[in-house]
Amino acid sequence: MQTEYRPRHPLDLRRTVMFQRRGANDPTMTMAGAVIWRASRTPEGVATLALTDAGSGVVRAAAWGQGREWAIAHVPDLCGARDDATGFAAERHPLVAELFRRMPGLRLGRTDGVFDALACAIFEQKVTGMQAFAAWRRIVSAFGETAPGPTPRPMAAPPDIDGWRDIPSWAWHRAGLEPPQSKTVVRAARRGRSIVRAVEAAGDGEAVDRVLVSQPGIGPWTSAEARIRALGDPDAVSVGDFHLAHEVGYALAGARTDDDGMLALLDPWSGQRQRVIRLLAAGGVREPRKAPRLHPEDHRDR
């Protein structure tokens, strides 16, 4: 199936959609030339979606697989059509105002893949991004479903909920995921359909957060990360992140801070705090590195 999407707002397709990619070798997402490729599991089956900025405010989309109609119908949401920046007071900080002016096409998109976003967030609990992305790649490549269509490289959609539950313990270990994370994914998958129904019925971000944090092993950080990707929550803040408070503190106050300090700095944008965080990240505002990057030990052969 093919379609053209003409957003009613400026759209930076790459910055908006590629935010969903989990590492450079994510099997569910890649960019080849000017085309963004995304493999996903929809309520109607697996789909591969290809998106291209055709210029003149037009996004061309093509989709393959059983879930192609769903994927095509949700292109606007993935591109941030439901994102509303009305009332965003960018002028409350000169850096935020400048980034907002420079990047009017940065939108907060949503995948509506609640369980996939939750599983991905659990992978990233208390480990480096490098570890989490590698484990995600190994598990999805081995236990996901091959993406249909003429993908530029082998791609896969994540397992379905039953598939997450049935991954053997040795596979988690070989993928490099620690037992607390793998057990949390499996435990969540046992209640996966109930979780998805409860999230869909919850409505707003706070209600969704209550649903998610009521699950064992899922705290505020995991809930926020899942809401950001699946629902495009404009106010979600990943409290407890190893780097985020430092980066926000450095960008907005010139010095690193803790979670409480970060929340105080973001308070003027209550309701739109994730937008500020995304602008700072997209603008490349980074605290200077003061130590070598951590290289975690590989325990997979033990």
Give the tens place of pLDDT for each residue, 261-302: 999 999 999 999 999 999 999 998 887 766 555 455 555 555
By C-alpha distance, which of 286, 283, 264 is closest to 273? 264
Residue 292: the pLDDT is 55
The average pLDDT across 26-55 equals 97
Give the tens place of pLDDT for each residue, 129-183: 899 999 999 999 999 999 999 999 999 999 999 999 999 999 999 999 999 999 9
Segment holding 260, helix H or strand E: helix 259-266
Number of Cβ atoms within 10 Å of the Cβ of 52:
15
Average pLDDT score, the chain: 94
Residue 81: the pLDDT is 97
The average pLDDT across 185-212 equals 95
Collapse the DSSP code of 30 into the 3-class scheme (helix H, G, I; strand E, B; otherwise coil) and give the result.
strand
Residue 289: the pLDDT is 67
Residue 186: the pLDDT is 97
Task: Give the whole-angstrom CA distance, residue 18 versus residue 35.
Answer: 11
Q: Where are the beta strands (DSSP E) in 134-287?
A: 145-146, 156-157
Give the tens place of pLDDT for each residue, 2-29: 999 999 999 999 999 999 999 999 999 9
Give the tens place of pLDDT for each residue, 217-255: 999 999 999 999 999 999 999 999 989 999 999 999 999
Residue 301: the pLDDT is 53
Residue 258: the pLDDT is 97
Residue 302: the pLDDT is 55
Give the tens place of pLDDT for each residue, 101-137: 999 999 999 999 999 999 999 999 988 889 999 999 9
Residue 79 in contact with residue 72, Cβ under 8 Å?
no
Residue 203: the pLDDT is 80
Q: Which residues contact 235 (CB under 8 A, 6 or more apart)?
A: 205, 270, 271, 272, 273, 274
Segment holding 55, helix H or strand E: strand 45-55
- Range with the poorest average pLDDT among 57-71, 195-209, 252-266, 278-292: 278-292
Task: Give the whole-angstrom CA distance, residue 25 versus residue 79.
Answer: 22
Residue 296: the pLDDT is 56
In order of start, what are the domains of the chain with their CATH numbers?
2-88 (3.30.310.20), 89-302 (1.10.340.30)
Residue 297: the pLDDT is 56
Residue 286: the pLDDT is 82
